[in-house]
Structure formats: C-alpha cells, structure tokens
Amino acid sequence: MKQILEEYTQYNVWANEIIISFLIKLSSEQINKEQLSSFTSIRKTVEHTAGAEHIWLKRIKGISDQENKAASLENISSLSEFWIDQSNQFAEIIKQADGNRLMEIIVYKNLKGIPFETALYKIVMHVMNHNTYHRGQLVTMLRAVGFTDLSSTDLISFYRL
C-alpha cells in the first residue's frame, strides 16, 4: 500500500506542476473569467483545490483550523507556489510513513463541524482523487480561455515517464 500511495502522491505533484505551468501564463482576466463549472473561475477552482489540501494537511496534523489560506493569496504565482507546497507535503508524509502510520485513525471535524474518524491512507486517497477531479475541470477551463495545447495529466502518462 505504501508504494501505491507514494506513487499517487508523486503523480499528484507532477500533474499539479503541469497545470501550474499554464496558470502562471494567464492574464488576470483569464484567471478570473467567469465560467460554468463547480467554481466560477480558474482562480476559485485553484483556491478550492489548494485550500482543500491545506485543510486536510492540518487535520492530519491535529490542527482544527478550517480557514482556507489559499483564498487570501494575492496572485496566481503565490497561489501556485502554495498549492505545490501542499502537494509536496502530502508526498513527504507518505514517504516518511510506515504501515502503522498509514492505518492511523485521524479524528477531525468537517467544515460543518461534524466529527469524523478516517484512516490516514483513506484521506490521502480522497485528497489525490479530489485533485484529479478538479484538475480535469481546470483543463477544460484553461481550454476555454485559449490554452488548447495542454499536456496530459493522466496517471498513465505519469507512469510512462
């Protein structure tokens, strides 16, 4: 299981870096252009995704603060740096974890204050899957603002490296 989670968190970093390589080329107008999606702009989608990673990392560390720090970052460059830092932290947690740590039950409250208990490995799988979902939306949104030559962020593309 550890090897799979290591690969999955490394894939997450790699795929996020591809998306970020396009984000940093966007104008303010492109980043904030309203689009039909779960979140109404590229910026809001990245804020949500990076913020979710941040909140899950805090939960794993036993910190109950639910603030989405990503929403307070001023520009896409600092937001991108923050996002990739969160992704790297997930990869490092798994790299350092042993089997007992991966099975450890994390006790936390969701954004509505409802308490939950979930094994660390399940949280990691959830967060990586959540990122994949929103990266797909970001690819569509990036295409809508003119970036049509996007690199693949598919897992199989990562395995082919």
- What pLDDT, in 10s, does the model give residues 69-123? 888 898 999 999 999 999 999 999 999 999 999 999 999 999 999 999 999 999 9
Instruction: Give CA–CA dist 148/91, Å, rounded.
Output: 30
Q: Characterize the bridge pairing of strands 105-109 and 115-119.
A: antiparallel
Q: What is the mean pLDDT of residues 146-153?
A: 88
Q: Are 48 and 130 in contact (CB under 8 A)?
A: no
2-25+38-159 adopts what CATH topology? Four Helix Bundle (Hemerythrin (Met), subunit A) (1.20.120)
Rg (CA), the chain: 16
Residue 54, CA distances (Å) to 27, 64, 84, 86, 146 in order: 25, 12, 11, 6, 29
How many of the other CB atoms lie within 10 Å of CB of 141?
Answer: 25
Each residue's pLDDT tens digit, 1-45: 999 999 999 999 999 999 999 999 999 999 999 998 889 999 999
Q: Are 90 and 124 in contact (CB under 8 A)?
A: yes
| Ranges of each domain in the chain | 2-25+38-159
Is the pLDDT confidence value at 65 over 80? no
Instruction: Provide the pLDDT for residue 150.
Output: 85
Instruction: Provide the pLDDT for residue 116.
Output: 97
